[in-house]
């Protein structure tokens, strides 16, 4: 009798996070593993014994295709930080008790850095107690800040959204020929990967954004205002900034204008209002007409604009995790190795999770222009293959159809 499978989703969703869930589910069935359980709201839900039998909800291949096109985390998510096994054995004993009750042999957790930390802690504890359960991490993040892997599933689709919408907004901004300034804020707390993707808008049919500011470079307000004045001379500029840009002294721009709204259970400060604050500065100091636009959570849930490459890779990492676990691997995360950029080719690989957990990958300094306000061709060459191809939503009555966990 084959052991059962359990899979959970954690952290912020992406436009293709359910492609990875589909990859885990479909591959588990294909390999003839046992039942496939889904944790509701990740490890937090598991601790409350909230889980579903996936086959009650995803009944056939059509449902799998709907699942791949459904935004947000189908199973729900959490931001729950496991303690170190030395600090609180009880919680691990509880988790492993529940996993044993369910006769789990394979545990998959789809998330970012914090989720890889969870997998690492569970594997470590499992090894100590001689558990046969295989623990595998499946990467996802729109931020693309995971180490070791060439890039992370979820990034390509978010980048396609940011680039496409920025391109549309650049045309929109030119309409009145009045030199008005548009400041767009994209997600990116500590890394500028996603914000930088606005540069992909540039091409034979678009002037692209005028300036791009990433958290990797200390933000200089005077230089910024000078630059804005310069690019406003002959057109209506569009400037794209990361939510997490900071002054040289470490203060977030978003902190300057208002109090912090709070922080989550990982101690992440919730940032908001970077573009609004900069817009206010431009208005007051330059007297320009300014509009601030935040992509907010739209950029992580725009499944109607999935990148086909990203969707396929998100499925592939789920698939590879099941294959690796079935071969007996554990305490590993599936990463993507780029074999070639032109033509684009990749392979997946099961890597020791310590190499990824709790490390943040930044945009290389040499991919940012010396002036600190744009990215180089190296970034474009890196990101362009990841936004290729489209996945047609299943439109019903004019609206993309999704599948809901009832």
Q: Which residues bind a copy of itself (CB under 8 A)?
A: 12-13, 40-41, 70-73, 76-79, 160, 163-165, 167-169, 171-177, 182, 200-201, 203, 205-206, 261-262, 283, 289, 291, 293-294, 296-298, 300-305, 307, 384, 387-390, 395, 397-404
Closest to a copy of itself by CB, 2 or 304: 304
∠ CA 101-27-108, nearest 5°, is: 45
Return d(Cα 137, Cα 5) in angstroms, integer.
13
Q: Which residues pair with 134 in a beta bridge?
A: 106
Q: How far is the CB of 350 from a copy of itself (least distance, A)?
A: 27
Exposed, middle or buried: residue 236 (CB in 10 Å: 0-12, 13-18, 19+)? buried
Which of 27, 1, 32, 3 has the alpha carbon at shortest distance from 106?
Answer: 3
Q: How far is the CB of 402 from a copy of itself (least distance, A)?
A: 5
Closest to a copy of itself by CB, 38 or 126: 38
Q: How far is the CB of 298 from a copy of itself (least distance, A)?
A: 6
For the question of residue 60 being annotated catalytic, the response is no
Instruction: Report the SS3 class of residue 396.
Output: strand
Which of 232, 233, 164, 229 has the alpha carbon at shortest distance from 202?
Answer: 164
Q: How far is the CB of 167 from a copy of itself (least distance, A)?
A: 6
Q: How far is the CB of 83 from a copy of itself (least distance, A)?
A: 20
Helix (H) or strand (E) holding 245: none
Return d(Cα 317, Cα 346) in angstroms, integer.
11
Strand segments (E) across 248-296: 290-294
CB under 8 Å to 178, separation ≥6 — which residues?
236, 289
Q: How far is the CB of 203 from a copy of itself (least distance, A)?
A: 7
- From 143, 145, 310, 373, the catalytic residue: 143
Closest to a copy of itself by CB, 159 or 322: 159
3-state DSSP percent of the chain in helix, strand and coil, to 5: 40, 20, 40
Return d(Cα 338, Cα 330) in angstroms, integer.
23
Q: Is the peptide bond before 343 cis (omega within 30 degrees of 0)?
A: yes
Give long-range contacts, CB 8 A cutoff, 24+ apart: 346-354.
346/150, 346/313, 348/316, 348/317, 348/319, 348/320, 349/320, 350/136, 350/320, 350/321, 350/324, 351/148, 351/149, 353/116, 353/119, 353/120, 353/123, 353/137, 354/120
Closest to a copy of itself by CB, 87 or 397: 397
Q: Do 243 and 271 meet the contact criterion of CB atoms below 8 Å apart? A: yes
Return d(Cα 36, Cα 322) in angstroms, integer.
11
Q: How far is the CB of 205 from a copy of itself (least distance, A)?
A: 5
Instruction: Report the SS3 class of residue 391.
Output: coil
Q: How far is the CB of 162 from a copy of itself (least distance, A)?
A: 11
| Cα→Cα distances 190→219, 242, 250, 388, Å | 13, 9, 11, 26
Helix (H) or strand (E) holding 125: helix 113-128
Closest to a copy of itself by CB, 201 or 326: 201
Closest to a copy of itself by CB, 216 or 294: 294
Active site residues: 143
């Amino acid at each position: 009798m084959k052991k059962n499978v359990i899979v959970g989703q954690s952290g912020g969703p992406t436009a293709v996070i359910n492609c990875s869930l589909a990859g885990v589910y479909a591959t588990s069935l294909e390999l003839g593993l046992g039942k496939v359980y889904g944790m509701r709201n990740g490890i937090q839900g598991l601790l409350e014994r909230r889980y579903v039998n996936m086959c009650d909800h995803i009944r056939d291949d059509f449902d799998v295709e709907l699942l791949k096109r459904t935004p947000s985390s189908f199973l729900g998510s959490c931001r729950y930080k496991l303690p170190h096994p030395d600090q609180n054995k009880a919680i691990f004993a509880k988790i492993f008790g529940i996993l044993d009750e369910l006769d789990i042999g394979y545990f998959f957790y789809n998330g970012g850095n914090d989720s890889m930390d969870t997998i690492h802690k569970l594997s470590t504890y499992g090894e100590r107690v001689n558990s046969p359960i295989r623990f595998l991490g499946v990467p996802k993040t729109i931020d693309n800040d995971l180490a070791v892997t060439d890039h992370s599933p979820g990034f390509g689709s978010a980048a396609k959204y940011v680039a496409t919408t920025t391109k549309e907004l650049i045309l929109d901004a030119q309409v009145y020929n009045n030199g008005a300034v548009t400041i767009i804020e994209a997600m990116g707390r500590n890394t500028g990967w996603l914000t930088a993707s606005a540069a992909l808008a540039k091409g034979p049919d678009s002037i692209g954004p005028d300036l791009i500011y990433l958290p990797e470079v200390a933000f200089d307000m005077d230089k910024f205002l000078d630059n804005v004045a310069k690019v406003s001379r002959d057109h209506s500029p569009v400037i794209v900034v990361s939510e997490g840009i900071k002054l040289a002294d470490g203060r977030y721009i978003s902190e300057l204008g208002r109090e912090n709204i709070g922080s989550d259970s990982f101690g992440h400060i919730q940032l908001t209002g970077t573009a609004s604050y900069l817009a206010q500065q431009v208005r007051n100091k330059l007297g320009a007409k300014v509009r601030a636009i935040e992509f907010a959570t739209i950029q992580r849930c725009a499944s109607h604009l999935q990148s086909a490459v990203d969707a396929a890779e998100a499925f592939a990492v789920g698939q590879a995790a099941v294959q690796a676990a079935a071969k007996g691997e554990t305490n590993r995360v599936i990463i993507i190795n780029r074999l070639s950029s032109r033509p684009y080719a990749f392979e997946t690989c099961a890597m020791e999770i310590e190499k990824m957990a709790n490390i943040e990958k930044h945009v290389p300094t040499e991919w940012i222009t010396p002036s600190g306000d744009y990215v180089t061709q190296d970034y474009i060459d890196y990101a362009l293959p990841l936004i290729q191809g489209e996945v047609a939503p299943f439109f019903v009555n004019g609206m993309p159809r999704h599948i809901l966990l009832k």
